[in-house]
Structure formats: structure tokens, C-alpha cells
Amino acid sequence: MTGEKHMPEAAGQVSDAVKGNWVDRIAPEWSRPYLRLSRADRPIGTWLLLLPCWWGLLLSMAHDGRASLFDLWIFVGCGIGAVLMRGAGCTWNDITDRDIDGSVARTASRPIPSGQVTTKQALGWAVIQCLIALCILLTFPLAAIGLGVLSLLPVAIYPFAKRFTWWPQVFLGIAFNWGALLAWTAHSGRLEWPAVVLYLSGMAWTLFYDTIYAHQDKEDDALIGVKSTARLFGTDTPRWLSRFLVATATLMGIAVIMAGIDRNPLSLILLLVGPWAMGWHMLWQLRRLDIDDNDRCLTLFRSNRDAGLLPVLIFAGALIV
């Protein structure tokens, strides 16, 4: 399994992509390898990068009790930026992992190890995505721009983390939840403590969902020496996930109280429903987890879009009260 390259039936299709996705069906053929590098055929990662941005924006609005048309642009800009920066990050990840991906059954069909694009072409594509994202970032306040530029550091480091630590998911959490800090700052013009606590909540959530995801690769990872929390925790994974669940909900609840303490009691109570609802969704996942069932792990991992959307919807509703 570690020496062969596995290609799905559809030419160029990546093995863990959503079947019948728009890239494989309707995207121009010349663009498909680049869109696959950006994981456009697997949108869950974009959602997981975007949702902390929306948490940060909505809680920042709750904190100071004001809203403007510029907040609508932050909301939309974060969406576009998440697509671009997730794409750039995944492209960079595939460049750095090009010698590893060909040895893992799930990733051998990716564009670089399968020969759909060269490393040089992939690097050029990563730069293009970063430059377009920079154009969006430059419309935000100066403090948010600084945070956006700083976010490139954890993005650059993350692909190498699995080579030197058993906790690469921590580095993913640092990178993937940066939007909570950036969006808060884009609205308020400054970084404040509720955003930091919210950021830590997102990091705990990333440890939860990406440990589930990593269980798909644990056998191949063991053979090639790649580290992960899935390998580290092994059969003790449910116990660790329960800790991450509690940390996620608790820290988000603290962030909500810090942000909404001056709002009317009903609004604050509604805001607190957000972390409670997300925690219950994570518990639902935990109760259905089978770490040896790759299909189940992938399904549960993808369900975190809904888990992260619950606070977004509830926070938005609470702002109206």
C-alpha cells in the first residue's frame, strides 16, 4: 500500500474528494489540477478556516454593540480570503509533502505526486493566491493587516510539524484559527482578550477534529515515520477528544462572557447557547467515533462544518435581540 500510487477511476480525481464535486464535473480541464491543489474539490477545510473568522467578527460586534456596512465587507472578505488562503496553504503543504504523499494511499492521487502539475507550477499557484488575498487584507485596518501578514509564519511552519513533533495538530490550530484574531481586530481596530480566548477555543476544536481526521492515515504514517496526535493517543483517543471538547466549549463560553458582559441579560444568555450547542454536536461525534473505520472518521470530520456553524447562527441571532 505504501509503494503504489492509487488513482481513482475518474482521471485526475483525488481519492478523498467529494464524489461528483464541481471541480471534476464542470471546471475547465486545464484548471482542475490547480483547483485540486487548493482543495476546491474538498470544501470542508475552507469552512474550518472561515468559521473562526465569523466567530471573531460577531463577538467583536457584540462586545462594542455597533455594526456598519464595513462589517458586511469583513464578513464577505473573510469568506473570499478563506478560500484563497486555504488554497495557498494546501498548495504549500503539497509542495513540502511531495515526497511523502506518494507513499500514502489517501494522498498519492494528489496533483503533485500523481504528476498532474510540477512543483514549480504549484509554487507559482500558491504565490498567485497569496497576492490576491493580500489585496483583500489591505482593505482592513492596519492592526488587522499586521495580523494577516504574521499569519504566514504558522502557515509556513505547519507542514513540517509532523516531522518533529507528535502534536502537529497544535500548529494547524495556530494557523487555522488565526481568523478569530484577525476578524475581531478588523471590526474593532484592536486585538482584545476575548478574541484571544476565542482563538484558544478554536485551537482545542482543531485538536478535536484533526485528530479524528488523522486516524485515516495512522497506518501509513507509522510506516513512513510521520507523527500525529492520532498515533500518539491510539486507543486512548476518545478520552483525549473529550478533553478537547470540554476545552472548546468552556473557552468559547468564557470568550462570550468577556465579550457580551455589557449586553442585556437575554442577549448574553443567547450568546452562551452558541458554545453549548457546539459542545453537544462534538459530543454527538464522539459517541459515533470508530477510530478504525476510515469512512466514519472522514464523515465525522466533515460534520464539523455544522458544529462550527452553530455558534455563527446563534451569535448572529443574539445580536438582533
pLDDT digits (tens, 9 = 90+) for 16-56: 677 788 999 999 999 999 999 999 999 999 999 999 999 99
The whole-angstrom separation of Cα 226 and Cα 295 is 21
Sequence-distant (6+) residues with CB within 8 A of 38 are 83, 86, 87, 88, 90, 91, 125, 129
The whole-angstrom separation of Cα 159 and Cα 164 is 10
The whole-angstrom separation of Cα 133 and Cα 218 is 34
Sketch out the chain's domains with CATH numbers: 22-320 (1.10.357.140)
Grid cell listed for 91: 498548495
The whole-angstrom separation of Cα 3 and Cα 13 is 19
In tens digits, the chain (321 residues) has pLDDT values of 333 333 444 567 777 677 788 999 999 999 999 999 999 999 999 999 999 999 999 999 999 999 999 999 999 999 999 999 999 999 999 999 888 877 777 778 888 998 899 999 999 999 999 999 999 999 999 999 999 999 999 999 999 999 999 999 999 999 999 999 999 999 999 999 999 999 999 999 999 999 999 999 999 889 888 999 999 999 999 999 999 999 999 999 999 999 988 888 889 999 999 999 999 999 999 999 999 999 999 999 999 999 999 999 999 999 987
Grid cell listed for 315: 451569535
pLDDT digits (tens, 9 = 90+) for 158-175: 999 999 999 999 999 999
Q: Among 236, 247, 248, 249, which Cα is nearest to 289's?
A: 236
> What stretches of the chain show up as alpha helix (H) in DSSP?
22-25, 32-37, 44-64, 69-96, 98-101, 119-137, 142-150, 152-164, 168-176, 178-188, 193-214, 218-224, 229-233, 237-260, 265-288, 294-302, 304-320
Sequence-distant (6+) residues with CB within 8 A of 49 are 82, 85, 86, 176, 179
